[in-house]
Structure 1
Amino acid sequence: MEVHEELLRGQAEVWQLMFAFADSMALKSAVELRLADIMHSHGSPITLPQLASRIDSSCPDIPYLARLMRMLVRKGIFAVHQSSDGGDETLYKMTHISKWLLHDSELSLAPMILVENNQWLLEPWHYLSQCVKEGGIAFKKAHGCEIWDFASQSPQFNNLFNDAMACTAKIVMKALVSHYKDGFDSIQSLADVGGGTGGALAEIVKSYPHIKGINFDLPHVVATAPVCEGIFHVGGDMFDAIPKADAVFMKWILHDWDDEACVKILKNCRQAIPDKSGKLVLVEIVVQEDGNNIFGDMGLVFDLVMFAHTTGGKERTEQEWMKLLEQGGFHRCKIISMPALYSIIEAYPQ
């Protein structure tokens, strides 16, 4: 009997894993339909017909919406509200999860959900096993070029990607500014390498207005960056050279590259900062292989995201970060934990 139950449990778990994509597709649909935004603006629990009437459609299908909402409620993304008047009509309300789906909220993961579940970024996942068999780059197998070239050739994807990076920058910077309070006090100039459209750097300069910010990224990226007081946008290639500054900041950049490429970037960072007073500040995931924290397996999940989307990128353990930084010319470093998915890695040449 025990063997039978174990086998049955194994079958049930395989079914769950097999259709795990249904969760992310339901989540994406909720964001595309702006269901959280509708509920938020409504200001009180909302009925299904009221919800449907505010979807951007002349003829929304209410039975389809009901089925989607049933799943979203099961997953805790929304909740059912029990009416105090004893009415039979189901009312829906927000939860702590759906607050992260609001498009216009200061802190939102909606743009990240849309880009990660876009067909362009889902396609490379189908090539993981092929990469295991013969090597190569999953994204290139799917699209014929690497992700950065694809972004430079597709304005639509580039905008989606930049929006996603900007939304995560806000989340990162809120945690960083509150848990790294003295980290930027002595810095007069800061280069954000791979800074996208400047969202992260803008948050730093806002909190530390004495800093001269240099937002450094590929020319096609900074071309779409908004004007921001205290920030200079500079186009270039981090593999060639990095603008001189008191310190270099990088958020979720090195995880996009293999060790050899990272060492080259780090050596350029080392050349960009002063020998004695300069420092490097990284915001990266430090993989805990036991997954024993609130984010569970997300370090390992992001490692597979790097496998699917980047040119040899990966998430690294503390030991791997120490070794990489040493090879790049940073002989002293420390890791500062935050109540977040990522950590601060502070590194010095001496």
Structure 2
Amino acid sequence: MSRLTAAEQKALAERVLDIESRAVSALAGRLDDSFAKACQLCLDLTGRVVVTGMGKSGHIARKIAATLASTGTPAFYMHPAEASHGDLGMITGQDLMLAVSNSGETQEVITILPLVKRMGAKLISMTGKPKSTLAKAADVHFDVSVEEEACPLNLAPTASTTATLAMGDALAVALLESRGFTAEDFALSHPSGSLGKRLLLRVADVMHSGEAIPMVTADVSLSAGLVEMSQKGLGMTAVVDQQQHILGIFTDGDLRRTLDSGVDVHKVPMAEVMHRNCKTIPVDILAAEAIHVMEEHKINGLLVINEDGVLVGALNIHDLFRAGIV
């Protein structure tokens, strides 16, 4: 049974959010020329940013490394304790170490500083103690100190980790903008994400090709066209000549209209019921562009052609859904 009422729990949550928001807001007032210096150190790198930290600071360091890496700054996390047992070999003189420690005296981090300095690697530190060993050893120090932790005991890292994470985000975004990092660049490092799929997948990657393309010649009967539509399952079939140039298209909607007219499906040829001047798309365009075409023309399927105008594929809106484009 909880010792707190619902109202008390809500009040406690509000207190935590207030403390942490003030901790983050206070960081802006401490920014000076050293922030620009830190950015320049990262921009001048020929190596990578090696982010390290122990305990809760280690968790924050991992997130900072991941954010840097995904926004154009090559970076990885290195566990400081493992560094003393061989992982220090990951660092070269062309790298930069970003060390995170609230106390600035974390033994595992302090132990590797002389070796990092000896290699010639630059050092940026984020601590809550500007006069700490780590802060003094750094080429650039970020003061991420907080007045109090959100923990009622003022012990568990809460506001301090939030402030450190926010400063890491500030650094990553400043570097992103400085590099001219674009959405396309972001997609290249997130090919499995929704943005990556929208920006990188092309029609050729998602279309049905080869034997999976529904197509018939203009002289076959409507019933033969319906069999082709049923077998291929795209709700349409292309009507082509002997060289597979598109003459027209026949869709489920065309079928309903044709049946309403009372034609004999076994006798009428596809040439008489197909829809001429159908919409096609080039094989090399982005899949996202195919969506735009479908939306603009209020259609659910498209035929795909190569540069010679030959039918090479077909796709419908469900293919784009499955690919995560929509």
What TM-score comes out, normalization by structure 2 length?
Answer: 0.27
TM-score (norm: length of structure 1): 0.26
More RCO (CA 8 Å, sep 6+): 2
